[in-house]
Structure 1
Amino acid sequence: MYNLQVPGAYPQSPVCNVHQQWPVGMKISRGLILQAPLISRRQLHVVSSSRTNVKPASPTPLKLKHYNLPSHDLMMPDYYMPLILFYPNPQLSNPLASKTAILSLLKNSLSKTLSEYYPFAGRLSSSGSYVDCNDEGIHFLEAQIACDLSEILQKPPVKNEKEGYGHLFPPGSIWHNVSYSRNLMAVQLNHFSCGGLAIAVSLSHRVADGVTLFSVASYWARMCRNLNDQEKLVHRSPCFVHELLLPQSSDDDLTATQSVAPEKNWITTKIVLSNSNIDKLKAELEMQDKQQGIKNKNYTRNELVTALLYRCAVTAATASNSGTYTKSVLLQTVNMRPVIDPPLPKTSVGNLFTFNHIPTYTMNETKLNTFVAQMRKGMMQLRGSKSMVGIEAFPLIVKYEKLNYKTYMISSIRKLPIYDETDFGWGRPVKAAVVDTPFVNSSFMMDTPSRDGITATVSLEEQDMKNFLANKELLAYASL
């Protein structure tokens, strides 16, 4: 547990009074004006906010000032990836956990973290092909949110400010484009009326994937707990490994992909599949296999839920298309760190992932046991890869779009110990979430906080979503 020396007036009640009257005339961000107590509960959002700049604790060495991006980074869209972590009132376990003490601790530990993850404190070049590691730092926002933590937890994980998590992040940092003049990383610390906290972190996809985003949050949390004993963090330090992979073309030949984050035209929802229901699905598939003389398939939870989500999504699209099946493809995200030969460190920085791509042309090909077999075949083809050259993710998206496939992207971060490794000194988060999705037909899978099931954030077109949520096969295993 961290050692906080600054006592303060942080609210001690674990229960928020949603009718609390905030001072009239208090500074309100984004034009919101409070006229307490007449304001309705749904309008209670950001009461006040402030912004500072956090720079690395130590300067980046001159030889590291120019961080060239490898091809697998240059091909990625320049969007912010958003991760948010929710915590109960720290004062429940430490009476000295005042706002002032927490803010100071988080900034100091973040500053030291940026010294290790030095490119993220720099700025993307105008060409987008390298990072100028100039130590300009990142924006750190602090906001007072005028509602209870529990009220926010009930909201869907979407970027909408009224009905989702939009006001809990720095403006424009949820799947929005990163300008070369802006921060590659941004953070917002949210204080709820009940004393609960939320830490929102956004990181440019141009320089990192979801595994790297988690590694940054994990390292920061460990630094926060071991601010005066950094030797405990040596084995968790970031590894910049692209120079260890097979050589690629000269940096002068590389250009960054230009992309614009699409306007949201989809519906996002959250579904939960309990472990007991996943076990039920597994037993049913194993029975089908047994009847066909197939044994020992040993389905994993990831395989089962991925296959089910894909099948139900294409079924929904077929219903929207008057029963006509559209050729479709699953793009299943694969973390290549443990797959590349030899394996890369878990803390390797960059977009070290690709897609396991499984096209389907008929509904019959989406039968779960058949589809899982195809998923496994694709995974076997990736094993033994020596580098990222030739298996980059972005060209696969372009390929299937040109061939007029309907693409579905499903990512899983279930293997990342998010809840265990993001304790900043006041306990595990009560919830972690990747907010919304970058585009339509996307899904993110995570473990539930208690590990009793899988949570999936799903984005589909409006009519497809209606059909998806009414799908009897989905409803047999998932709760909405």
Structure 2
Amino acid sequence: MLPNFYVPIILFYSNSQQLSSKTTVPNLLKNSLSEALSKFYPFAGRLGSAGSYVDCNDQGVQFHEARIACTLSEVLNRAPGADEEKGFGHLFPTRSIWRDLLTDSCLMVVQLNRFSCGGVAIAVSISHRIIDGTTLLSFLNYWASLTRDPSDQEELTRLQPHFVYELLPQSCNENVLATQASYPERHWITTEVVFHNSKITELKANQEIHDKIDGVVADQNYTRNELVTALLYRCAVAAAAKSNSGVYSKSVLFRAVNMRQLLDPLLPRTTVGNLFMFVTIPTSTKSETMFNPMLRQMRKEQMQLKGMKILDLKGAVPLAEKYAKMNHNLYLVTSICNSPLYDGMDFGWGRPDRATMVDAPFVNCFFVADTPSRDGIVVTVNLVEEDMKNFRADNELLAYASFKFES
């Protein structure tokens, strides 16, 4: 039900030299990767001709090595775009950043980058057809733990993958053609915006004041994710309106919701697959992007998903096409907050200095994650140039957030 493109993530480490001198980093990673794939065995297979199932033929994944003629610190100070010179494009294998997989391609590719200072970066891309963000992090968490301490069977058992075939639609077989999608080539700016916890607390307090003014008596107990999502969408739509001579166009927020803890019965966090659904909130006026209606609708839509026995079979692509045909501008927000993005990614030489998703498959995307020190939220933002200019100048956004990189 999802396009077959690579989802790219990269992990940067400055202290890999702490490894034992008896073991080289490449060999250590390749050996542990092979062992990890024996558990996550579909990743080592190939998609069937129709693209709707995985032939678990154990053909393996690609592992590339690259020496980078600069220090790690020079690259850490770049925005997470796919650009070769200003971004992270050269740290990934060719065509593995949000690009369609070619026929009979590996479902997973890895590149180990070794910098002149001794630091390393591990770039990983896996087909979105078979994983969501939670599964991607679960795999990396397992691989890192296996590399760090292969004797810790208790930890490895806790992290091993969980497969739930009964949730798959019965029609998924070799005769069913999987979702195909094509996106127009569009150029956009990629940057990061940071919301410190103190500022999110301030945003929450201000919203509670507005709630009282509007007659909302009960404490809504807004989450960080809800508040940041609402603010991002509100400011992005306002930026587009400013680019459009102040006219608000029809827009829709696509918010990805992890279904593992909403299904009945609940599923382990390590359950493999695309186990998420989209909450959609269409708007066409400025008033509809105000916090109260946005947050209320987000809560309402998510509550309707709770207790489902099986995933709704509505694919993401048909849903997006439905709104596109109605001339809505689509905005996608997906979050990996409260995931083991840092603490779980120790391969034996400490937590990563930086871990981030790279770029996006299309414009108007927001990838939300915890900051390395967990003192706030960092968001990778992709907007067209004029909208990004207006977004960066939005006073409401700047009251609670700061930008890490210049456009």
Please classify the TM superposition score into its range, dividing by the shorter chain length: over 0.9
Matched, 1:87 2:13: yes
1:185-264 equivalences in 2 (<5 Å): 185-230=108-153, 232-241=155-164, 243-245=165-167, 248-249=170-171, 251=173, 254-260=176-182, 262-264=184-186
**SS where residue 147 of structure 2 aligns?**
helix
Q: Is the 8 A contact 1:170 1:188 kept in 2?
A: yes
The counterpart of 1:291, out of the listed 174, 192, 213, is 213
**SS where residue 382 of structure 1 aligns?**
coil
1:339 alignment partner in structure 2: 262
Q: Is the 8 A contact 1:248 1:389 kept in 2?
A: no
2:202 alignment partner in structure 1: 280
1:432 alignment partner in structure 2: 355
**TM-score (norm: length of structure 1):** 0.81
Q: Is the 8 A contact 1:408 1:442 kept in 2?
A: yes
In 2, Cα distance between equivalents of 1:250 and 1:451: 40
Paired residue type of 2:204: K
2:59 alignment partner in structure 1: 136
Matched, 1:413 2:336: yes
1:317-332 equivalences in 2 (<5 Å): 317-332=240-255
Q: Is the 8 A contact 1:125 1:180 kept in 2?
A: no
Matched, 1:126 2:49: yes
Matched, 1:270 2:192: yes
1:314 alignment partner in structure 2: 237
2:2 alignment partner in structure 1: 76
CA separation of 1:252/1:203 partners in 2, compared to 1, >3 Å: closer, same or farther?
closer
Distance apart, 1:133 and its partner CA = 1.6
Distance apart, 1:385 and its partner CA = 1.3
Q: When the two structures are aligned, how many residues end up with a matched partner?
A: 402
Distance apart, 1:393 and its partner CA = 2.8
Distance apart, 1:424 and its partner CA = 0.5
In 2, Cα distance between equivalents of 1:355 and 1:390: 12
**SS where residue 357 of structure 1 aligns?**
strand
The higher relative CO (CA closer than 8 Å, separation ≥ 6) is in: 2
Q: How far does the alpha carbon of each residue in 1:286-339 deviate from its partner, in whole angstroms, 9 at most, with x for none?
A: 111122332301111101100000000000111111111111110001011111
CA separation of 1:300/1:229 partners in 2, compared to 1, >3 Å: closer, same or farther?
closer
Distance apart, 1:395 and its partner CA = 2.8
In 1, Cα distance between equivalents of 2:197 and 2:127: 33
In 1, Cα distance between equivalents of 2:5 and 2:172: 25
**SS where residue 396 of structure 2 aligns?**
helix
**Most deviating of 317-326 and 264-273:** 264-273
Paired residue type of 1:389: D
In 1, Cα distance between equivalents of 2:127 and 2:172: 23
Distance apart, 1:262 and its partner CA = 4.5
In 2, Cα distance between equivalents of 1:434 and 1:251: 31
**Most deviating of 319-328 and 386-395:** 386-395
Matched, 1:358 2:281: yes
Q: How far does the alpha carbon of each residue in 1:138-183 deviate from its partner, in whole angstroms, 9 at most, with x for none?
A: 1111111111111111000001110000111111110011112211
CA separation of 1:460/1:247 partners in 2, compared to 1, >3 Å: closer, same or farther?
closer
In 1, Cα distance between equivalents of 2:274 and 2:185: 24
Distance apart, 1:264 and its partner CA = 4.3
1:136-175 equivalences in 2 (<5 Å): 136-175=59-98
Distance apart, 1:261 and its partner CA = 5.4
In 2, Cα distance between equivalents of 1:401 and 1:446: 27
- Tell me the C-alpha RMSD between the 2 structures: 1.6
In 2, Cα distance between equivalents of 1:152 and 1:356: 35
Identity %: 57
**SS where residue 281 of structure 2 aligns?**
strand
1:43-54 equivalences in 2 (<5 Å): none
Distance apart, 1:366 and its partner CA = 0.7
In 2, Cα distance between equivalents of 1:278 and 1:259: 37
CA separation of 1:120/1:261 partners in 2, compared to 1, >3 Å: closer, same or farther?
farther
Paired residue type of 1:149: L
Matched, 1:301 2:224: yes
**SS where residue 284 of structure 1 aligns?**
helix
Matched, 1:464 2:387: yes
In 1, Cα distance between equivalents of 2:88 and 2:169: 42
Q: Is the 8 A contact 2:190 2:382 kept in 1?
A: yes
In 2, Cα distance between equivalents of 1:80 and 1:315: 31
Paired residue type of 1:428: R
In 1, Cα distance between equivalents of 2:359 and 2:240: 20
1:177 alignment partner in structure 2: 100
In 1, Cα distance between equivalents of 2:15 and 2:338: 27
Paired residue type of 2:167: L
CA separation of 1:404/1:452 partners in 2, compared to 1, >3 Å: closer, same or farther?
same
**SS where residue 402 of structure 2 aligns?**
coil
Q: How far does the alpha carbon of each residue in 1:366-408 deviate from its partner, in whole angstroms, 9 at most, with x for none?
A: 1112211111111111111111134443332122112211110
Matched, 1:396 2:396: no
2:272 alignment partner in structure 1: 349
CA separation of 1:124/1:250 partners in 2, compared to 1, >3 Å: closer, same or farther?
closer
In 2, Cα distance between equivalents of 1:372 and 1:149: 40
Paired residue type of 1:273: F
In 2, Cα distance between equivalents of 1:245 and 1:87: 37
